[in-house]
Amino acid sequence: MNHFHALILGGGAAGLMCAIEAGKRGRPVAVLERADRLGNKILISGGGRCNFTNIHCQPEHFLSANPHFVKSALARYTPADFISLVEKHKIPYHEKTLGQLFCDRCAHDILDLLGEECRAAGVSIFLNAKIQEVVRTTEFVVRSANAEFRAPTLVVATGGLSIPKIGATSFGYDLARQFGLKIRDPWPGLVPLVLEAEDRSRYCDLAGVSAEVIASCDGRQFHERMLITHRGLSGPAILQISSYWKKPHPIRIDLSPGRELTAIFRDPKALRNLQALRSELRKLLPARLADRWLELHPPASWTNAALADFENQVHQWSIMPAGTEGYEKAEVTAGGVDTSELSAKTMECRKVPGLFFIGEVVDVTGHLGGFNFQWAWASGSAGGRAV
């Protein structure tokens, strides 16, 4: 009974897209999902409105040990392809900022779309499928607590380690290891940073204060907002740079992007004192952060050189985070199945024909802004066209 052409492990964004593409091609496919419903992560995405793609999606919006790997799949399934699906289902959406497309109503619209497309494509879905074992005989045999499934093709779409409380597991990495595939050690990405105790006591009582900054690290920089939290820093600029951060490197923050704070003091008539400097700083930063900055980093004197040092410090705040908030709060897991093991066109393993890896379990991680779903759609579609 449970014999299919392809078994897809994981009913998230990538697995469902793969099932739809394969089903449309007449392939008998089954999705095995361990939770009691599909797409849990879709439902909590984008603050409940699912940032389902980004119209400016390009390969440079992704981290991977091989930055070229994403090119083929992204070129063959574009944001326009997913938008046409959204429009076919008459889902209202809007661009929030920087090309990020969100549902007007809620993320459930996207899950309903995928469910309807699965039904139309004749996809079989098994929920509560807690897989205990995968073996390869002449075909793949997948055993759950109460059933056995067989197919010549197996697609692993079980995602990464982020948000264990909604069921994230290391299953995909374990299975890759079982088949002798290389893994690039995973780490939490798009995650708030935790400050060392001393910096926490200096800044974290300002929790809730935000400012537009440039955050940089490892040759990358992001010009977006930063938010001070109870334990450290968050907001889009920090989430973005967190994916590139590794201990013990510092993160640099420009608190006054593109603006010279002390320019006014070139006027010989300008008074050089704390009040004048505070008033300049408050034009750029929220008052509480401006005042705190001046308290902690007052200029050494009022000479041109001291003011230049002060200016530099504002543009190059160097922070050494104690760590990150970890997988509990990370939107994605970076690292994963090494792309050198996979065909960039089909996502099939080179060493194990018939075995595919798609979505977040692969060593491909998008920037914040709809890129991770676009990778799930594109890699899922690549797999679905090939199985």
Ligand X SMILES: Cc1cc2nc3c(=O)[nH]c(=O)nc-3n(C[C@H](O)[C@H](O)[C@H](O)COP(=O)(O)OP(=O)(O)OC[C@H]3O[C@@H](n4cnc5c(N)ncnc54)[C@H](O)[C@@H]3O)c2cc1C
Q: Running DSSP on this structure, what letter comes out for residue 367?
A: P
Is 162 one of the binding residues for ligand X (CB under 6 A)?
yes
**Which is it for strands 29-32 and 6-9: parallel, antiparallel or unpaired?**
parallel
Piece of 154-162, 204-212, 246-254, 285-293 that binds ligand X (CB under 6 A): 154-162
| Separation of alpha carbons 287 and 296, rounded Å | 14
Q: Using CB under 6 A, pick the residue from 376, 382, 386, 387 that binds ligand X.
A: 376
Q: By CB under 6 A, which span of 5-13, 145-153, 288-296, 338-346 interacts with ligand X?
A: 5-13
Q: Which of 11, 188, 192, 383 binds ligand X (CB under 6 A)?
A: 11
Binding of residue 21 to ligand X (CB under 6 A): no
CB burial of 247-275 (b: ≥16 within 10 Å; e: otherwise) equals eeeebbbbbbeeeebbeebeeeeeebeee
Tally of CB atoms within 10 A around 169: 15
- Chain centre distance of CA 335: 11
Interface region with ligand X, contact rule CB under 6 A, candidates 10-18, 90-98, 260-268, 287-295: 10-18
Count interface residues toward ligand X (CB under 6 A).
Answer: 37
Q: Decide whether 171 or 244 has the Cβ nearer to ligand X.
A: 171
Residues 6+ apart with CB under 8 A from 307: 262, 265, 272, 299
The window from 57-65, 166-174, 178-186, 251-259 that contacts ligand X (CB under 6 A) reads 166-174
Q: Binding mask 28-67 vs ligand X (x if CB under 6 A, - otherwise)?
A: ----xxxx----xx--xxx---xx----------------
CA 246/CA 243 separation, integer angstroms:
8
Count of alpha carbons within 13 angstroms of residue 42, beta-carbon side: 28
Q: Is residue 339 a contact point for ligand X (CB under 6 A)?
A: no
Q: Tell me if 372 contacts ligand X by CB under 6 A.
A: yes
| Neighbour-count burial of 371, counting CB atoms closer than 10 A to its CB (0-12 exposed, 13-18 middle, 19+ buried) | buried
The contact set with ligand X (CB under 6 A) reads 9-15, 32-35, 40-41, 44-46, 50-51, 129, 131, 157-159, 162-163, 167, 169, 171, 331-332, 359-360, 370-373, 376
